[in-house]
Each structure stands twice: as structure tokens, then as C-alpha cells.
Amino acid sequence: MAPPFASSTILLCGGGTGGHVYPALAVAAALDDVKRTVSLGQAPVSLVYVGSEGGMEERIVARESQLPFRALPAAALRGRNPVALMRGLATMVAGTRMARRLLTSLQPRAILGTGGYVCVPLFLAARSKGVPTMIYLPDVVPGLAVKMLSRIATLTAVNVEDALPRLGLERNSARALVTGYPVRSELFGQDRPTCVSRFALDPALPIVLVYGGSRGARSINRAIAALLRALLERCQLIHVCGREGDEVWLKEAASALPQTLQARYRLYPYLEAKTDSTSEPSMTAAFGVADLSICRSGASTLAELPAAALPAVLVPYPYVHQDENADYLVERGAAVKVADAALLGSHQPEEGPLFAAVTRLLDNPLERQRMAEQSRALARPDAARHLAEAVLSLAARSGS
Ligand SMILES: CC(=O)N[C@H]1[C@@H](OP(=O)(O)OP(=O)(O)OC[C@H]2O[C@@H](n3ccc(=O)[nH]c3=O)[C@H](O)[C@@H]2O)O[C@H](CO)[C@@H](O)[C@@H]1O
């Protein structure tokens, strides 16, 4: 039975890694616009972010939004170790109990989950309390948690239509919605010279953005280290290496190079999506400045690369269905793909597939231009708004 709604609160939930947090924040920003035109009764719509205890989302939400944050215990339920599994299960039971208390106190009208294990306890509690839920799948192939959540959610939204059959949903099902991936609006139509000045780079020499998703990618970092001199002889690099300590040996590798090449290298463990100051480097500005990207193919790349019309060499992380994300862009002419295991080949690093792909694209501005146009054609600038409207109408229905 639905609770008697005194409030007009909507919960946003997603966590574990950045890819589950940024889409929720993009929807929060769109909700700020949309909610002015939609009435949920007397009370103004308010948003609360629910994330996992100790996850990276608490820091991101505090830095990049004004949203109040509430934490729940959550853990992965996978692997073969029975002790770890039991511990994970106990955490989830505690999380669900705490989520029920949270729902009792906040009385939300609807919940949007953007993935990560923290959605599981919240959605289980929501089901038992009759709060409507919407789960969003950013990837082409769903993981276990999203599959399970899609079964209990009121609505399932997906980034691309190809994902629907993998969730057992039809295109015209009343429970399904294809929205695209919500990205921050600042990514579209950036001014390149302004972005270049944030990184203090030379606008006349091509700029390559290297990043490995929200946690970095060691194999990409190793490959860049092996190719550092050869790459810097041809382009400038913005390298976002992750916070796992790779910065130390990457700095060392760079310090062995001549000063002229060192001046072309910018290394960061992490770049905030946006910064308070308009002169500091940010991830958004990195997309605005790059001529080419070398990156993993996490779900965000399906939207952020098109939003920035940025051609890419994609290196899918082998264990989590990133190949299918990469294929989506490659088949549409927006990117090329290099296998993680084959980055450097078996002889000289400069003879391997990564260097071959990057130099071919650097030497061929026309091909880059064609890829950029094909990428741009895939952009869905309305995705955040679409999701915002869907969660608001779920909330409006639940109160009527
Ligand atoms: C290893 C792993 O399990 N990866 C999964 C995880 O990736 P992950 O959480 O890394 O997600 P994505 O690669 O999709 O997104 C990373 C996000 O972080 C941002 N960013 C990244 C680095 C940085 O310094 N600053 C910054 O702002 C990017 O612009 C992007 O918005 O969730 C995704 C969404 O379900 C999946 O597709 C990925 O397969």
C-alpha cells in the first residue's frame, strides 16, 4: 500500500563508481528545471541522494551538487568465497532495514536508481513500502544487480534500445523507456580556446585525452608509459591515470624525457567533472579540448564522446561487458577498438596496435573529422530531461 504522502521528495540513488553517480547528478540538474513546471501538490519537490557507505559518491555529490546525502550499507553479492558472500548478504540485510527506516522518515514519492549495489536494499525496501521506482541501465549489457532491479522496478529506462531484449523487455512495453544517457549540459558546444587555456597547452598541436573510467586503468597507464616519448613527439597528452598510485611511476617516466616533451604532458590522478573556478582543469574541459581520446568503454563514453564530438580509440575493460559498449560506437563509425590484451603487441611498443591506431588518426584529420561527425550524430542532449520527466510523472501518479 502506498504511504500517505506529506512530502514531495524524490530519491536519487546510485553508487560504487563514478559511472553510477554522474548520470544521477545530470538528472538532478534537469529536475531543477523540469520540476518548476510540474506540480506534486502543495509541497515543492525536493531531492535527496542515497549512496553507499564509504563509496566515492559521497565526495562527488558534496563537490558537484547541493543535494543532501544519506548513506546505506551495501555490498557486492558475487564471487565464490562463501565467507565473503555471507558477509555481503548480512550487509544487504542491514542495508534494507536501514532503507525501510529512511523511507518511513522521508516518505518519498518516487525513486530513480542509476545502478550500483546500493540500489538493491533501497529498491527492496521501496517495494515492500509501495514506493514507485525507476531503474536506469546505462550499459548495452546489464549486470546482475540491474537485471534483478529491473524485475522489481515500476519502470526500467535504458540508454540504448539494444539493451531492452537483454532485460526481457519489449520496445513498446509500458514498463520500458529508451532515454539515452544523461550527461551534464556543459559538455555540449564548448569553446576550445578557453578549454586549452585551462590546461596551459599549445592550441596548435593535437591534444589526446587518456582516461580509464572513474577509477583509472592500469593497462592503459602502462601502455602510455611505454609509448610516452613516441606519443609526445607527435601530440600533447592529458592523462587522467586514476587514484591507485600509478601517478608516481608515470611522473618518473615523464621526468626522464627532454623538457620540450615534458611540457606537452599533463598528468592527473582524477579530474573533477566541473570546478568552481573557470580557469582550473576539469574533466568537462578535457573533453572540450581534446582532438582524440584513448579510453575504456564504460557506459558514459556512449554519451560523453558524442556530446563532445570526440573520436576515440576504445580499450574495453575485459571483465564487465565493455566490448558491447565499444561495438555500439565502432559499428556507427564513431570510434575504433583495440583489445586490452593486445595494446602494445608482442614486439616494440611502437609497432603495437595502440600506437598504430593513434598515429593513423593523428596523421589523418579528415578521418578524425568524419568520426567526430558520426559521433556527434549519436548525441542525445535531451536524455537528462527525458529521465527527469519520467521520474516526476511516476511521483505525480503515486500521489494521486
Ligand atoms: C570497471 C567497471 O566496472 N566499469 C564500469 C563502471 O565504470 P565507471 O564507473 O568508471 O563508469 P564510466 O566509465 O561509465 O564513467 C566514468 C565517469 O567518470 C567521469 N570521470 C572519470 C575520470 C575522472 O578523472 N573524472 C571524471 O569525472 C567520466 O567523465 C564519466 O562520467 O560503471 C559503468 C556504468 O555502469 C560501466 O559501463 C563500466 O563497465
pLDDT at 1: 44
Rounded to the nearest angstrom, the distance between the alpha carbon of 216 and the centre of ligand 1 is 9
pLDDT of residue 44: 77
SS3 of 378, please?
Answer: coil
- The x, y and z cell numbers of residue 255, run together, are 621526468
More confident residue, 11 or 37: 11
Centre of ligand 1 to C-alpha 215, Å, is 7
SS3 143: coil
Atom of ligand 1 nearest to the CA of 17: 9
CA torsion sign for 167, 327, 352, 292 is negative
- Residue ranges and CATH numbers for the domains of the chain are 9-181+381-399 (3.40.50.2000), 186-376 (3.40.50.2000)
Across-strand partners of 176?
Answer: 156
> Can you say how many angstroms the Cα of residue 395 is from the centroid of all Cα atoms in its chain?
25
First to last CA, the chain: 13
| Res. 167 pLDDT band, cuts 50 70 90 | very high
pLDDT at 82 (0 to 100): 84
- Which phi and psi (to 5°) does residue 66 adopt? -105, 10
Give the mean model confidence (pLDDT) for residues 307-315: 98
| Burial group, residue 348, by CB count within 10 angstroms (0-12, 13-18, 19+) | exposed
Atom of ligand 1 nearest to the CA of 271: 24
Count of alpha carbons within 13 angstroms of residue 276, beta-carbon side: 3
Mean per-residue pLDDT, 297-314: 97
> 69 CB less than 6 Å from ligand 1?
no
**Torsion from C-alpha of 117, 119, 122, 125, nearest 10 degrees:** -80
Residue 47 φ then ψ, to 5°:
-115, 140
Lowest mean pLDDT among 52-61, 114-123, 135-144, 271-280: 271-280
Q: What is the pLDDT of residue 324?
A: 96
The complex's ipTM? Answer: 0.97
